[in-house]
Homo-oligomer: A and B are copies of this chain.
Amino acid sequence: MLGGGPASWIGRMHRSAAELDGWWRVVGGVFSGDPARSREGGATLGFDRERCYGGIDELIAKERTRSDPAEAVAIMTPNDTHYPLAAAALDAGLDVVCDKPVTHDAAQARDLVSRARRHGRVFAITHGYSAYPMTRYARHLVEAGAIGALRYVQVEYIQSGLAARIEDNRRDNRLEWLLDPSRSGLALVMSAIGCHAQHLASFVTGRRVTRVCADALSVVPDREVTDTVSALLRFDGGVAGTFTAFQAAAGSENDIRLRVYGENGMLDWNHRECSILRVAKLNEGPRVVTRGDADLPPAIAALGRSPRGHPEGLREAFANLYAEVAQERMLRSLGEPVPALGYPRIEDGAHTMAFIEACVASNGAWVEIARA
């Protein structure tokens, strides 16, 4: 683990998700940018002190000497450190699971694509929202033609994380890097939540964004970082859509919603009801599909771990990603063919970074997004 000290909720999320199905064992890591705090934090978490390191270089050097070296790293550090940590890990022959935004810009992301390919490494990005049984089922239905030719896509991520003026609370130094655009990314709202929304839309529709006409701004007065991006979209094949990432939404929670319309019907998923998918056909009310429905494809049903009606959440979605990375590693090591597993890859991250760059550049004009 890189990041995820004792006070980190996302650290515990990664650990429990990785170990949930027995595919992984978390053995140590670098738990803080400060070497002493890293060692202490790792020990507090119950890791062998020998494997609580002061930094990525020490981790790589020491693990290399072990008979049971680490095989992968999971990166959950501040945004500006993702790229150097991921590059170092790939160069050391480690597989990588990395939080978003995967890099600062598209060039860095393309560089990671190259490194991952050169070293033959697995590189997964933890867009957990795409790994719920019901977002996976949405993708399945689109692929299977259940709603016919696609016509329109609406994706939005509305959150209250930047609704209050957290700028006035800079003493809370966990926020300092967030409010520094050179550290948090090209547009804070895109680094924080917008990247998830674009990925989800592209994942479910199986289409990349080809053009965007965006309005990136701060709706909270006297704010340096971007808290809002609204955009008009075109996807592969000319499918139209809209995109909203709005992080200054007082009164919202963490509200991702994706609607995909086809010639015969529509799909509607929202994060507050993560275990259901609404599927509506022309001139009918919606059918509410749940992850326990009897007619789900077995591969979708297998993404749930308890009987119908037993709530599961983001932890289980993260665990689905970790399981797929493990499965791909296993199949690769066996020389077996690897099916198209659903976890988000560095190539997806490179597209996302290109999308973010286009949104920032657009200013109310259409911008083309080159294929990576």
Report the nearest B residue to A234, measured CB to CB: B215
Chain B CB within 10 A, most for which of A230, A272, A365:
A230
Residue contact B289 to A152, C-beta cutoff 8 Å: no
Residue contact A285 to B276, C-beta cutoff 8 Å: yes
Residue contact B16 to A271, C-beta cutoff 8 Å: no
Residue contact A215 to B230, C-beta cutoff 8 Å: no
Residue A145 is within 8 A (CB to CB) of chain B in the complex: no
Chain B CB within 10 A, most for which of A20, A164, A307, A310:
A310
Q: A251's contact among B13, B241, B286, by CB below 8 Å, is which?
A: B286
Report the nearest B residue to A16, measured CB to CB: B20
Report the nearest B residue to A149, measured CB to CB: B221
Residue contact B311 to A271, C-beta cutoff 8 Å: yes
Report the nearest B residue to A286, measured CB to CB: B288
Residue contact B283 to A285, C-beta cutoff 8 Å: no
Among A119-127, A258-266, A339-347, the stretch in contact with B: A258-266
- Measured between beta carbons, the chain B residues less than 8 angstroms from A314 are 306, 310-312
Known: A9-B305, A248-B151, A250-B147. A282 touches B164 (CB 8 A): yes
Report the nearest B residue to A25, measured CB to CB: B46
In Å, the complex CA distance between A88 and B272 comes to 44
**Range for the number of chain A residues in contact with chain B:** 35 or more
Known: A46-B22, A286-B288. A309 touches B254 (CB 8 A): yes
Residue A228 is within 8 A (CB to CB) of chain B in the complex: yes
Among A28-36, A105-113, A166-174, A291-299, the stretch in contact with B: A291-299
Residue A159 is within 8 A (CB to CB) of chain B in the complex: yes
Contact with B along A307-333 (1 / 0, CB 8 A): 111111111100000000000000000
A-B contact pairs, 25 of them (CB 8 A): A9-B307, A12-B20, A16-B20, A22-B45, A147-B250, A151-B220, A152-B248, A213-B215, A217-B240, A231-B232, A251-B265, A251-B281, A251-B284, A253-B285, A253-B292, A271-B309, A271-B311, A284-B287, A285-B288, A285-B290, A287-B288, A288-B288, A311-B313, A315-B316, A364-B366
Given A152-B228, A254-B308, A285-B288, 10 extra CB contacts under 8 A:
A9-B305, A12-B20, A16-B16, A152-B246, A249-B261, A250-B265, A250-B282, A251-B265, A251-B280, A252-B280
| A contact residues vs B (CB 8 Å cutoff) | 9-10, 12-13, 16, 19-22, 45-46, 147-148, 151-152, 154, 156, 159-160, 163-164, 213-215, 217, 219-220, 228, 230-232, 240-242, 244, 246, 248-255, 261-266, 271-276, 279-290, 292-295, 305-316, 364-366
